[in-house]
A and B are shown apart, each in its own frame.
Chain A
Amino acid sequence: MSADFPHRHAAHCESGTVASLLSHAGQPLSEPMAFGLAGGLSFAYLPFIRIQERPLIAYRVPPRGILRGIEKPLGVRFTVERFRSPSEGQARLDALLDQGLAVGLQTSVFWLPYFPDDMRFHFNAHNLVAFGREGGDYLISDPVFEAPVRCAAADLQRARFAKGMLAPRGTLYYPQPGRPVRAPDATAVANAIRRVVRMLQAPLPFVGTRGIRQLGARIGRLDTAAPDSLLLVGHVVRMQEEIGTGGAGFRFLYAAFLQEAAQLTGRAALDELANRLLEIGDRWREFALAAARMVRGRDPFEPRALAAALEGLAEAEHRFFGELGRAVR
């Protein structure tokens, strides 16, 4: 049993899990590097997809995008297993842990009792690392917590086999043993940045900076008298800040990656762009604070003001990603 897994506190569950698993497998990797190399940054506003009555708003790539995206740049392969029956899934997890492996798991946040009660919602794509068993408990390194935690077997089982949207079906993964992991290099970093630039500048109405504009336009049209209006505003802020993003909808996390990328590639321009992205992140935070104050009723609800802030952010990101693209040409 590998009861000593080097736990690291991360901003985001998936990049944290991937960085932890690969570092444990012998290739030291920071969370920002895992996030950036996998091309994790994005923006999407998909009003026709509803999750718990609200439209899908994401500041990053869809779940499992980081796990999949990291494979090519580092030459690593994750073995991913799913199970038809919960008992099969538990037996397999136990067998892997008994071999001394650390295993990534997809779980539902709602059924994990160690989460604060107010954070427990039905989100089925929460990632964590199981690294051992003791008594009736699993030893868990959950990247969004400061320290390792324990989870009773029955609870973890329930979280792994929760049903509904993105049902994990017991999904577990681990880097294929015996396969060497490459260290991140300048080419991989530049390719990953190009991918994100393409995504943010996609000529599609609901993704990238156009998606931000689209969301701004939607918020600008909100009826101040309708009770659902403030629910949408609060939802945007939750997706940006509350759902483990490292602040400003992953913009701060990506800035950390750009800084690391500047060192690795020797391109000083990236260093400057990292600081620019921090400033853009600060503006996202200002937007979040203004929106939250309206939600609470501390300030009058002014959809137009929020729309203008989003429009400004779309413009700032449009320019920013243009320059970022030129910096890695």
Chain B
Amino acid sequence: MDTRAVPQEGNATLDGHSKAVYARDEAGRIVAVPCSGWQAEEIVTLQAVDLFRGRAEAARRRARAGQASPLEYWMYARRMDLATFSQSCGVWQWRIRRHFDARRFARLGDALRARYAEALGISAEQLGSVP
């Protein structure tokens, strides 16, 4: 790639930042050039972001309807899947899945609530509801 061909498309996902890519300048030297974005990157980044957003939104609706606990919403809102969340809080996946149930979650002790909240980077109070 030549430096003139480095895409400068101003990706929304980069939020005004540039990343360095390597390209060949007029003198034939391969140098680092700031790149403000490329559509191919933007598309796949948004695909990954939207996957979590969609899951969080579905979980939020379930929680609002009383069909699920807020825990599932917060997990996806923090861009974690079950495996990642389980590793972060040190609770078995099957146990977490049980706590996606609104009634079981309501009976949850303070210690486990605090542990979940800590892993998600929110307060135990926030964990009790969905925004």
Contacts and interface: CB of A to CB of B under 8 A. Distances in A.
Given A241-B38, A282-B1, A119 B13 contact: yes
Contacts, number: 137
A220 interface: no
A211 B65 CA distance: 47
B108 interface: no
A9 B20 contact: yes
B1 A252 contact: yes
A118 B45 contact: yes
Given A234-B48, A247-B22, A247-B23, A256 B30 contact: yes
Contacts of B43: 234, 237, 292-293, 295-296
Interface in A112-169: 116-122, 144-146, 158, 162-165, 167
B15 A117 contact: yes
Given A52-B84, A238-B48, A145 B17 contact: yes
Range of interface residues on A (Cβ < 8 Å): 35 or more
Contacts of A238: 41, 44-45, 48
Contacts of A291: 40
A173 interface: no
Contacts of A248: 1
A252 B84 contact: no
B62 interface: no
A32 B32 CA distance: 9
A244 interface: yes
A37 interface: no
Interface string B26-67: 000111101100111101111111010000000000000000
A248 B35 CA distance: 13
B33 to A, nearest CB: 9
A242 B48 CA distance: 11
A285 interface: yes
A118 B49 contact: yes
Contacts of B18: 9, 146
Contact of B88 (A10, A119, A162, A293): A162
B115 to A, nearest CB: 11
A241 B88 contact: no
A246 interface: yes
A119 to B, nearest CB: 7
Interface in B64-83: 78-81, 83
Nearest to A236: B44
A110 B79 contact: yes
Contacts of A110: 78-79
Contacts of B21: 11, 246-247, 252
Nearest to B1: A282
A246 B34 CA distance: 10
Nearest to B24: A278
A118 B47 CA distance: 10
A57 to B, nearest CB: 12
A10 B44 contact: no
B81 A242 contact: no
30 contacts: A9-B32, A10-B32, A11-B20, A11-B21, A11-B32, A32-B22, A52-B81, A116-B13, A119-B14, A122-B79, A144-B20, A146-B18, A146-B34, A163-B88, A164-B87, A165-B84, A167-B87, A234-B43, A234-B47, A237-B44, A238-B48, A241-B38, A247-B1, A248-B1, A256-B32, A259-B29, A259-B30, A278-B24, A289-B39, A292-B41
Given A117-B15, A278-B30, A285-B1, 7 more contacts: A11-B21, A111-B121, A235-B48, A252-B1, A252-B22, A259-B30, A278-B1
Interface of B: 1, 12-24, 29-32, 34-35, 38-41, 43-49, 51, 78-81, 83-84, 87-90, 119, 121
